[in-house]
Amino acid sequence: MREPLAVSAYRDLVRLALAEDVGPGDVTSCAIVPERRQAEGVLVAKSSLVLAGLEVAQEVFAALDANVVWDPVRRDGDRCEPGDRVAVIRGQARALLTAERTALNLLQMLSGIATITRTFVEAAAPVQVLDTRKIVPGMRALAKYAVACGGGRNHRAGLYDAVLIKDNHIRVAGGIGEAVRRARAAGAPAPIEVETQSLDQVDDAVRAGADIIMLDNLDDETTTLAIARVAGRAKIELSGNMTLDRVRRLASSGADYVSVGALTHSAPAADISLEIDL
How many domains does one find in the chain?
2
134, 184, 233, 235: which is the annotated catalytic residue? 134
Q: Which of 26, 59, 78, 216 is catalytic?
A: 216
- Are 70 and 144 found together in one domain? no
Looking at the structure, do residues 215 and 272 belong to the same domain, yes or no? no
Q: Is the domain of 163 the same as that of 260? A: yes
Q: 68 and 127 share a domain?
A: no
Q: Domain span at residue 69?
A: 7-118+267-277
State the sign of the Cα–Cα–Cα–Cα dihedral 131, 134, 140, 146: negative
Which candidate in 193, 195, 204, 237 is catalytic? Answer: 195
- Whole-number Å distance between alpha carbons of 213 and 195: 6
In-domain check, residue 2: no
216 is catalytic: yes
CA-CA distances (angstroms) from residue 155 to 158, 237, 260, 270?
9, 11, 10, 23
The whole-number average pLDDT for the span 254-275 is 98
Instruction: Please tell me whether residues 162 and 104 are part of one structural domain.
Output: no
Lowest mean pLDDT among 43-47, 65-69, 157-161: 157-161
Strand 69-72 and strand 212-216: the pairing is: unpaired
pLDDT at residue 4, rounded to an integer: 84
- CA pair distance 104, 54, nearest whole angstrom: 10
Q: Is 46 a catalytic residue?
A: no
Same domain, yes or no, for 160 and 239? yes
Q: Report DSSP state, residue 6.
A: P
Task: Note the pLDDT of residue 6.
Answer: 87
Q: Which of 74, 90, 153, 166 is catalytic?
A: 166
Of 229, 227, 231, 258, the closest CA to residue 245 belongs to 258
Q: With contact defined as beta carbons under 8 Å apart, do 47 and 97 qualify?
A: no
Do 138 and 184 belong together in one domain? Answer: yes
Give me the CATH number covering residue 113: 3.90.1170.20
How far apart are alpha carbons 148 and 130 in whole angstroms?
9
- Do residue 102 and residue 181 come from a single domain? no
In a domain, 70, yes or no: yes
| Amino acid (one-letter) located at 95 | A
Q: What is the pTM of this model?
A: 0.95
Catalytic one among 79, 90, 101, 235?
101
Q: Are 116 and 267 contacting, i.e. CB atoms less than 8 angstroms apart?
A: yes
Q: What is the CB-side half-sphere exposure of residue 131 using CA atoms within 13 A?
A: 31
As a whole-number percent, the residues of the chain with pLDDT over 70 amount to 100
CB neighbour list of residue 219: distance below 8 Å, 6 or more residues apart: none
Instruction: Read off the pLDDT band of 1 (50, 70, 90).
Output: low
36 given a catalytic annotation: no
Catalytic: 195? yes
13-42 pLDDT per residue, tens: 999 999 999 999 999 999 999 999 999 999
Whether 35 sits among the annotated catalytic residues: the reply is no
b (16+ CB within 10 A) / e for 205-232: bbebebebbbbbebeeeebeebbeebee
